[in-house]
Structure formats: structure tokens, C-alpha cells
Structure 1
Amino acid sequence: MREIAQAADLLDWYDRHARVLPWRTPPAERLAGVAPDPYRVWLSEIMLQQTTVAAVKDYFLAFTSRWPTVADLAGAEDADVMAAWAGLGYYARARNLLKCARVVTSEHGGVFPRDHATLLSLPGVGPYTAAAISAIAYDDPQTVLDGNVERVMARLHDEHTPLPAAKPVLTDYAAALTPDQRPGDYAQAVMDLGATICTPKRPACGLCPWRPACAAWHNGTAAELPKKSPKKRKPTRQGIAYLARRVDGAWLLERRPDQGLLGGMLGWPGSDWAETPPVEAPPIRAEWKTLPAEARHTFTHFHLILTVKTALVPMERVPDRGEFVPLEEFSPSDLPTVMRKAFDLTRGGA
């Protein structure tokens, strides 16, 4: 009974304070019978993986304007989708996005399956994403556990086991509170609570609808939770990016292999990225100049320092790899962030 009352308190708070998000069906509309679009739920959840709401909003609006249905996305050119994704990072998500859209369109009639197990079989859909689609799109009482929910559960129960070891027990806490009524709104309510009230630093406990039941608030430990295991030191890798511009303004680019980091993305030819000094691997014969500044970027598992080399090459020169993209077809915004950083250093340099 206590869990039912807690869920009701949170839903009452959510009905009054829900965030307005472009992929969300507001609680008033949901209560009036407006069903969420599973395509928009799925797309937003894929985009939001390891990315902030603020970073995702414009990408989501651009994607849904250009590809308003899953069938539209399934029919898109791979290069167009990868270019539209550029800057969001974690590019395997974009490749799986297309694979999933095509499976849903070809094998499920363009409708995301309601069955939780079938959702889990889709490309790029893991336990969290499947639970989110089931709960938010179809009101199936699945347990949705993202970083916000983990933090809320750890504080609510004053759980001091460090993450990631705490995930199973935090999942159990979240499952015990998930109601049979309005589970989709409830899932979004817990996420909103973590994002706006039960924040990582300086939580606004005075505004929290769950404060009376919060063990960490009673014990004065909210600010130190959730505990996290020490992070491993990230290694630093080095590489070279070769930015060749032809005399007619065309830039030499190559598409990276589908597998691996930045897979399928357009970028500058370069050397391997390693912790040892990079081996020269110019893609075309030219007089290469090294820019004084380096392009620096941090990925999930390592820091990268790129030496940027530039060259101006004649029309008749043929590259060993990659191809020249005419100036009118080149858009820096189509490049992943690390490649854009290298390009920004060349302004006036090549």
C-alpha cells in the first residue's frame, strides 16, 4: 500500500510539473486518451543514450521533420542519416537506428511491437530502451532505470552500495514502486524528478513530493548518493588528421569503416590512433604543413590528440584513398565533432 501511495504522490506532482519535451505526450493529453507515438518514443530514447536533453532537442526536431515516420527513416540514405546525426556522438547508435527502422518497417508493418521480448530483438534496443518503449508508448508496467532513476532510488532507500554494483538492487527498488496504473507517466515522472528536483548536486529536497519517505533525506546523506566506484584513468591516444584542399576548393574526405569508432561517418584521412607516436600515413602526395595547434577530443574510453596537417594540391593529383568533395557539397556540420575540431583549426591555414 505504501508503494501505491508513493506512486500516486509522484503522479500528482508530475501532472503539475512535467517537463515539456518535443517527444513527450503531456500528462493531460495522455489522460484524455492521446496515445504516444512509439516511433517518437524510440527515437528520443536512442538519441538520449549518454546524451543530455538539451543536446538532443534540436536533433530530434530535425529528424522528425525530415523523417516523420519510421518508414520514412527506413527509406533514407545511410549517408544522409549519418550526416544528420553528426555531433551527437556514439555513432553506432545511428547505424543501429537505420537497421532498427528497416526491421520495424519490413518485418512489423511499420509498427513497433508491443511485446517486450520482441522489442529486445530489435537492433540497438537493449533492456533499458525496450522497457522505456513498453512503458511510455504502451503503458506496460516495465521497470525503467536510467541515471536519474538510479539516483532517486539510491536516495529514497539510502542505498550506499556503489554503482555499477548497485544496479540490481536499485532495479528491485524501482520495480517495487512501478504501478499498474499509468506506468508510462510514472516512468517519466521519476526521470523528471531526478532531472529537476533530485539533481546530482544540491538536490531541492524541500520541493520533493517523496521527501517524507526519503531515507537519505532523513539521514542527511542525500548529497553523497549515489555512491560510485572510482573511475579508471583514461589513456591518451595520438593521431594525425590530413586536411587536403584542392585548388578548386574541394576537400579530401573518406568514409570510415562501418565497424569501429565513428563507423560509417565522413571524416579526414588520417593515421591510426594509438598511445604510441603516430606513423605518417598521408593520403595524397603533397607538401604537408603541420598546424601549431592540436585537435583534442575525449571519447568514452580515451582522450585523443590529433596533429593536424594541411596541404593545397593541384587538380590533377589523385589521392591514394578517399575522394574530393566539391566545395558546394561540403558541410562541416556533417562531420563528427572531432573532425570538425580539426577543420576549425584550418581556417586560414590551408
Structure 2
Amino acid sequence: MLNLKEYGIEMWPKEKIVAFRKALLDWYDTNKRDLPWRRTSDPYAIWVSEIMLQQTRVDTVIPYYESFLYRLPTIQDLAQAPEDVILKVWEGLGYYSRVRNMQKAAQQMVSEFNGQFPRTHEEILSLKGIGPYTAGAISSIAFHLAQPAVDGNVMRVLSRLFEVDYDIGLPTNRKIFQAMMEVLIDPERPGDFNQALMDLGSDIESPLNPRPEDSPVKEFSAAFRNGTMDKYPIKAAKKKPLPVFYQGFVIHNEKNQFLIEKNQKAGLLSGFWSFPLIERSEPAKSELNLFEVAEELPIESKKELFQKEYGIEVLWKESSFPMVQHIFSHRKWQIELLEGVVKEADFSPCADKEILWVCPEDFHLYPFAKPQQKMWEAFQTILN
């Protein structure tokens, strides 16, 4: 076990730890949120919720969680689902590698664990896409194992309780908070203990506008006692996402069908469908900030981009669209749209592309990520 004294952290004596557990769990029993994944002990359902909740708000997750379990109610269903299905049920949540890793983990459970969810912490941790936090959450909530689930909320609370002078954003420091939780966690109610700290960190001790005076454990908090709540947790500012500029093309035919293309490249938004997108040249990244846009391309250059890439004859329109913007964790996409119409007779498939003509009423059959949804919304604004 990590020696916390070497990091300047003095843990409480046993009696104080017991008192802390009671204060926290008494508050949780009275104030815990009524969430659908807290009404089940099914490890599969708990796993789905925990993966969805990573980097996503609770109120956003609930309908996705319910829809996911309706469409893919078992490990076997997830393991066997086509890629379009798993992307569709995850559509709009972002971080799509999460659901791809979930399918790989489900396939792993089918092949290695007879289609059952593994019951030990070590086995759960061996599954694709499951790290220490998720393994701890599932172990403690579904199987009542005394395993910590250390997320940002938990680290924020612990930082204030013990005035921890280590950046919670650095992965190398996670081991410090893991060791603290191994001392503090209630062995009788580990799942409730983990969830209580998460609830406390997401509400009363939230990153913005915390209410430390309302905390059920304020008497245990060194930061509250010493008036240093504004100092903790320590966390360096994130780097701003880099702008990336795209030319988007809203191409439709005389049957009101729209041209969409499947992204066959590995990486960001792989497997999703969208209007044709071509990345444009951009200024040096070091010279950009979030409020800059790409230099306006001449209209003829935009047309040439499409013609060269797709080889389709288009009657271009003079429509004016708002700029479409979407921020990922590390990139900010800025998409300028151009509208065109083709006659069906002019259309011939591109050998190296997966493209289709699709009516708007059939869009629901294809997984569309947020940038595509925003492009469609931008197009509709000119129709109203």
C-alpha cells in the first residue's frame, strides 16, 4: 500500500474514520438521488450507466441508458450487435470509443466468462475499456466488494477534506487518492459509500459555486476549517481545443434525397454518416485561437474541392448558412456549408467511398454524430 505520509497526508485515526463514514452515509440515505441504475443490482446495467456517465451529465444519460437497455438488454445482445446499431444507440453521447470498447468487452465476456459478468475485481478490470474507476464502481455497487471508485468528484472532496496539494488532473496522482479511499471506504456498504462521495462532489462540493456550509462532513474538512476551500482541489487549466476547418456540402437531388457518406477512416467519428466533409488547409495552429475562422475560400475553389473529390456534377445554389461549430475535447470543428442540387442521372458511385442517397424521413436509420446533426439543423434554418 502507498505510504501517504511520504506525500504529506496524515490519515485520521480509526474512530474518526468510523464517524466520517456514518455522517456521510446518514446524509446519503436521506438525500441520495433516485436514479434508474440505482434500482438494480444487475452488473450489466450498472456497467452501462457508469460508462455513459463518464464525461456526461446525469440528466443527459438517463434517456440514453433506458434506450440502450431496451435495444440491447443483455451482454449477448451487445456482443452480437452490428456497428451501426451500437453507434445509433450511442448517437449524441460522444466519445464513441467507449461504446466500441463496451462491445469488445461484451464479446470478451461471451468468450471468456460464459456470457456472464465476471464477479471479481481483477476479472472486471481485465475487460476492454474498463479502468480502475469503473472496475471499482461495478465491484462495489453490484458485488459489494470494498473497492474504491475514484473519479473527479471523489478527488475533489478528498482534496478539501485533507488539503491535498497534488493536481487532481494528473493521472500519476490518482494513486494518492486511491490509497486514501482504501483507508476510508466503508467495508459494509462500499457501493453506497462510493456513490455518496460522488453525489457530494457533484452537488454540494461541485467545481463551481460549492456550498461547503451545507456539507454533511464539513466538520471533517481541513479546507473548510482553515478557510482554504477556494484553493482546493488543485487542477491546472486545460489546453484549449485546436480549430480544424471543414468545407461541408449539402447535396440533394430532385427526389429530395440527400447525399451522405460513411466515415471509413479510423479515429474520430469512424463509422458515422454525414454530409460530405473535406478538411481545408488552415493557418499554423500556434497562430489560432478559438474565435478565429478560416480565411474565406472563393466559391469556385469550394466547388472544385467537391468535384475533384467526388466527381459528381452539381448545380450550385447561392444559399447562406450559419457557420457550424462543434467542440470536442481536443478539437474545435468549424464547418462552412455549400448547397448543391444534382439530377439523379448525374450520380455515379465513387469506388473508394461509401455514399448513399437518403430521404430525411430515413435519417433515423443511420448513426449521425453531433456535427452532422448541427449541419442538418443549419440547412433547415434556410427553409423556414
Q: Deviations over 1:325-347 (max 9, x none)?
A: 24432239941111111111111
Cα separation, 2, equivalents of 1:298 and 1:127: 27
Cα separation, 1, equivalents of 2:84 and 2:157: 40
1:273 Cα deviation from its structure 2 partner: 6.2
Please state whether the residue corresponding to 2:322 is helix, strand or coil: strand
Aligned partner of 1:331 among 364, 368, 376: 364
Residues 327 and 297 (structure 1 numbering): CA distance in 2 closer, same or farther, change over 3 Å? closer
Correspondence for 2:67: 62
Task: Number of aligned residue pairs: give it.
Answer: 341
1:349 Cα deviation from its structure 2 partner: 4.7
CA contact (8 A) 1:86 1:334 kept: yes
Correspondence for 2:115: 110
Aligned partner of 2:30 among 3, 13, 16: 16
Correspondence for 1:184: 191
Cα separation, 2, equivalents of 1:259 and 1:298: 19
CA contact (8 A) 2:84 2:367 kept: no
Q: Deviations over 1:139-164 (max 9, x none)?
A: 11112111110110111111232232
Counting only pairs closer than 5 Å after superposition, residues 1-350 of structure 1 correspond to structure 2 as 1=14, 2-25=16-39, 36-165=41-170, 166-257=173-264, 259-272=266-279, 275-276=282-283, 280-281=305-306, 282-283=309-310, 284-289=312-317, 291-316=320-345, 317-320=347-350, 321=353, 322-331=355-364, 334-347=367-380, 349=382
Please state whether the residue corresponding to 2:344 is helix, strand or coil: coil
Q: Which moved more, 1:240-249 or 1:337-346?
A: 240-249
Please state whether the residue corresponding to 1:324 is helix, strand or coil: strand
Could you tell me the TM-score, scaled by structure 2's length?
A: 0.82
1:77 Cα deviation from its structure 2 partner: 2.4
Cα separation, 1, equivalents of 2:338 and 2:196: 50
CA contact (8 A) 2:84 2:366 kept: no
Cα separation, 2, equivalents of 1:42 and 1:275: 41
Q: Which runs of 5+ in 2 are unaligned?
A: 1-13, 284-293
Residues 8 and 79 (structure 1 numbering): CA distance in 2 closer, same or farther, change over 3 Å? same
CA RMSD of aligned residues (A): 2.2
Could you tell me the TM-score, scaled by structure 1's length?
A: 0.90
Cα separation, 2, equivalents of 1:44 and 1:273: 38
CA contact (8 A) 1:332 1:340 kept: no
Q: Deviations over 1:205-251 (max 9, x none)?
A: 23322111100100111133212113223221101122211221222
Cα separation, 2, equivalents of 1:332 and 1:323: 12
Cα separation, 1, equivalents of 2:82 and 2:265: 15
CA contact (8 A) 1:241 1:271 kept: yes
Q: Which moved more, 1:285-294 or 1:231-240?
A: 285-294
Residues 54 and 130 (structure 1 numbering): CA distance in 2 closer, same or farther, change over 3 Å? same
Cα separation, 2, equivalents of 1:63 and 1:253: 25
Q: Which runs of 5+ in 1 are unaligned?
A: 26-34
Cα separation, 2, equivalents of 1:170 and 1:294: 43
Residues 154 and 288 (structure 1 numbering): CA distance in 2 closer, same or farther, change over 3 Å? farther
1:78 Cα deviation from its structure 2 partner: 1.8
Residues 222 and 306 (structure 1 numbering): CA distance in 2 closer, same or farther, change over 3 Å? same
Opposite residue 202 of structure 1, the aligned amino acid is: N
Cα separation, 1, equivalents of 2:282 and 2:156: 35
Opposite residue 363 of structure 2, the aligned amino acid is: F
Opposite residue 296 of structure 1, the aligned amino acid is: Q
Q: What is the identity percentage for the equivalent residue pairs of Structure 1 and Structure 2?
A: 35
Larger radius of gyration: 2
Cα separation, 1, equivalents of 2:280 and 2:110: 38
1:348 Cα deviation from its structure 2 partner: 6.1
Cα separation, 1, equivalents of 2:186 and 2:136: 14
CA contact (8 A) 2:321 2:378 kept: no
